[in-house]
Structure 1
Amino acid sequence: MFSASADHSPYQKPNYRLYVLALLTLAYVFNFVDRQIISILQEPIKLEFGLSDTQLGVLNGFVFAIFYVGFGIPIARWADSGKRRNIIAWAIALWSLMTALCGVAQNYVQLLAARIGVGVGEAGCSPPAHSMISDIFPQKFRATAMATYSLGINVGILVGLLMGGWLNELYGWRVALWAVAAPGLVVALLLKYTVAEPARGAADINNMTAADLDYRAETEATGEAADASVSRTTPSTEAIPITQVIQHFWRSRTVKWLALGAGLSSFVGYGLANWMPSFLVRSHGMGTGEIGTWLALIAGVGGALGTFAGGFLADRLSQKNVRWSLWIPMGILLLCVPLLSMTLLMDTKLNAMLIYIIPGSIMTGYMGPVIAVTHNLADNRMRAMGSALLFLVINIIGLGLGPVIIGMLSDWLGNTMGLEGLRYAMVSAVIVSGLLAALCFYLASRSYPEELARMASIKYK
């Protein structure tokens, strides 16, 4: 086993850094397995409990998101000064237990309460994981590392849809939930006992300019570092006041437009993730096993490649022009909107699924660049909170409003269109949210170079 001490020396070994990144990514896989499996199971759940589409949207979206983001902020604040490895391990254990409890629910209220528990547990995963990754990998590799971590979204969707679809057909929806809950406990133990807590800001030392190093040496020699301003690149465990953290991100034009763009992108993404299985059942008569197989291959395998490619291209192209970190998400949205609309309007399931391969594969490619840009514009002691604030916007707009608004539109349109109401509710969401998201990423790219350059001279009291 690897040492679990606080000593950051193991991270000098490239293989150990990759091991920790892989384990954090695996944690994120189960985060999304347990979060998204309900989408493939919601038709039998709707039938058993007699639910409306609006109730399903609340179950999968709004209530889950409120508790997810509500606990995300205090947990992120804790992660900016506490042991992030332990926080993630306990979080995995909690959401795995709550997923198992979803499988024993006897009514809608009990299922909703268990889903709230899943949301609380999952709030403790990404902010501390993002902070750890930024302390392991320097800026020039950060978008790639964040994109690798974000592969957990796609692999989690693959596992959740594939296992959930077939286990439901063979054994029922309750068994499917129990089956995906158990492995999370193993991941929690591996994180607790095989991962060392990285030193804060360690990776940023590699990016220090000569002026940064001279400043740091001068302040350490004169004893001023403890009392005077601390450079952005100087590793420190002293907490920055939360009001100053919020003010820092609020003052950033780039972060505000970026967060709104990411939220609108996730409105499309979560809306599709939650309602595509139901759409395929209602409009094309597909079974959950068939749906799970198609979507697992597209969103799982293809999406994993697309997510990684988004971060990889951002790192490479931004060395020539930093705006590429935001142009790539913009381009993804402009390509996805027409292709997703075609997918939803096709009359035959084969044509619909073949067209869906491209947008389903690249839709999450914005995640790595977006997180990396947020961290590039923040002190190392702000990064968990920065991720939490970013995810607050993403999850309120995307996870919270996406499924429930599409569900409400589906119920309303269904009064005249029947089962086809869901089709046109989804098309409307894709077009409006997708185009607005692309515009937001473009506006964020205009101010990013200036703000990135300014960060080198910012000092925090």
Structure 2
Amino acid sequence: MDRSGVALVDSSTGAIAPQPIGYRRYAVTLMLALFMLSFLDRQIINILAEPIKHELQLADWQIGIMSGLAFALLYTIAGIPIARVAEHGNRPVIIGIAVAVWSLFTAVCGYAGSFVQLLAGRVGVGVGEAGLTPPAMSLIMDYTPAEKRASTLAHYHIGVPLGSLMGLALGGLLLDAVGWRSAFLVVGLPGVLLALLAGLTLREPRRGLSARTIAARGRSTFGETVATLARIRTYRLFVLATAFQAFVTYGHAPFTASFFFRMHDGELARLAATFGLERAGFLGVALGLATGITGALGVWLGGQMADRASRRDVRAYATIPAIAALVTIPTYIAAVLVPQAWLALALMTIPSLFNSLWFGSVHTTQQGVAPPHMRATATAFLLLVLNLIGLGLGPLTVGLMSDWFSTSAGLGSGRGVQMALIMSSFIGFVPFALFWSARRSIRADLETAQRHLS
């Protein structure tokens, strides 16, 4: 039992027991709030990119590095050692420290006086955020019965669209009200309070395990973990597919608001005036609602679909994200081609919905095919590849393409960023092919993992 008197271990088996439903809901909701905060702090820079670009005199490729590569490099480098500690350490304490670190670095970004200083601040945010998801997902897997894991993990990942919504909406409103520097301060400091709450109220169920059970769960070296995960075909395909899906999503994110400012500036001003707002505030709220609400719906719907469809055929875990990746391509291109800003914002809801269906399927599968004592590291490797390819290269590539189309091809900044967004959308065929290919091995890999547990 923990200090609250709740049994953490199944007395009949000696293994970790799923937590009571009331506490499980509290814990997952708290971790959802933390994940949402991480994406708020991560994504707010996207709505602030244009004024930062002008004040610090940056090119689009620098915006790409600042919003993607700088964050991703340290996020991925720090993620692996943090995950290794989380395999056997106190996961709630790790989470609390991580939240405090990234929140303070977000606030520090408001004091940046140059590109290098802002880059350093974003690196610090990345280091902090690396300590959340691997231990959080490992806790969720321990807290939750097997038949509820896809929907529970999907519930946690609703933090992605909701955090993005808040980052865009709150960032836009704060930009108009107090400027981009104060915006970083306002969104960064409250995270310290949530860090304390996480460290003090989340339970570490492994504290109740016997030495025999801990030994049965396994302990592996870093090399053994890498070798084991590399042999699992479904895991390899899901990691690569998710990384290339993220390449498209993260590549578009820093430049979507810039696209609207450059291509629809006059209409944005008129629409904003209708609601008594300035352009940035209106666009932040509109983009946040258009992509955040439908994104959250997509994450929830994807988790529900995966739990239900997988009872008949576990290949649904691969089929759902494959089809979603394919549908996202033409719907996003349509949104950036229409001439009306209001219609473009409305159409953004469709790719946002489909681009969010994969969360429950992907994370249930990558956790399900990995041995229990390797789950935090499996998540960290997924995030490493996802962020290096997706967050690291996506924004940088789209930024370079935008600069080339704008200057070398002579299209101007508006048409240049539009063409970059269109061309990068076709990368979506890669995750479609990889997810679809994983249908061949997913059943066998999940059955193999289940035999190791029995």
Q: Above 0.5 in TM-score? A: yes
> How far has the Cα of 1:198 moved from its partner?
2.1
Matched residues, percent identical?
38
- 1:152-301 aligned within 5 A: 152-199=159-206, 236=216, 238-285=218-265, 286=268, 287-301=279-293
CA gap 1:4/1:11 in 2 versus in 1, 3 angstroms: farther
Match of 1:352 in 2: 344
Match of 1:430 in 2: 425
CA distance in structure 1 between the partners assigned to 2:403 and 2:361 by the alignment: 36
> Would you say 1:109 and 2:116 are equivalent positions?
yes
Please give the root-mean-square deviation of Cα atoms over the aligned residues, in Å: 2.1
Asked if 1 retains the 8 angstrom alpha-carbon contact of 2:217 and 2:372, the reply is no
Match of 1:392 in 2: 384
Q: Tell me whether 268-277 or 370-379 shows the greater mean CA deviation.
A: 268-277
CA gap 1:428/1:449 in 2 versus in 1, 3 angstroms: same
> Would you say 1:444 and 2:438 are equivalent positions?
yes
Match of 1:382 in 2: 374
CA distance in structure 2 between the partners assigned to 1:13 and 1:37 by the alignment: 36
Amino acid at match of 1:361: L
- 1:151-194 CA-to-partner distances (Å, cap 9, x unmatched) read 11111111111110011011100111111112211111111111
Amino acid at match of 2:421: M
CA distance in structure 1 between the partners assigned to 2:170 and 2:356 by the alignment: 21
- 1:223-251 CA-to-partner distances (Å, cap 9, x unmatched) read xx96xxx9xxx885652222121111111
Partner SS state of residue 336, structure 1:
helix
CA distance in structure 1 between the partners assigned to 2:112 and 2:135 by the alignment: 31
CA distance in structure 1 between the partners assigned to 2:190 and 2:240 by the alignment: 34
Asked if 2 retains the 8 angstrom alpha-carbon contact of 1:146 and 1:311, the reply is yes
Asked if 2 retains the 8 angstrom alpha-carbon contact of 1:200 and 1:381, the reply is no
> How far has the Cα of 1:459 moved from its partner?
8.0
CA gap 1:315/1:11 in 2 versus in 1, 3 angstroms: closer
CA gap 1:322/1:6 in 2 versus in 1, 3 angstroms: same
CA distance in structure 2 between the partners assigned to 1:200 and 1:352 by the alignment: 52
Gaps of 5+ in 1: 203-219
CA distance in structure 2 between the partners assigned to 1:44 and 1:362 by the alignment: 31
- 1:349-408 CA-to-partner distances (Å, cap 9, x unmatched) read 122112111112331221221011011101111110000001111111110011000000
Asked if 2 retains the 8 angstrom alpha-carbon contact of 1:4 and 1:192, the reply is no
- 1:325-364 aligned within 5 A: 325-364=317-356
Match of 2:301 in 1: 309
CA gap 1:276/1:319 in 2 versus in 1, 3 angstroms: same
**Normalised TM-score (structure 2):** 0.91
CA distance in structure 2 between the partners assigned to 1:30 and 1:303 by the alignment: 16
> How far has the Cα of 1:11 moved from its partner?
5.6
Partner SS state of residue 364, structure 1:
coil
CA gap 1:32/1:459 in 2 versus in 1, 3 angstroms: closer
Aligned residues: 431
Asked if 1 retains the 8 angstrom alpha-carbon contact of 2:242 and 2:386, the reply is yes
- 1:393-430 CA-to-partner distances (Å, cap 9, x unmatched) read 11111100110000000001101101211111111111
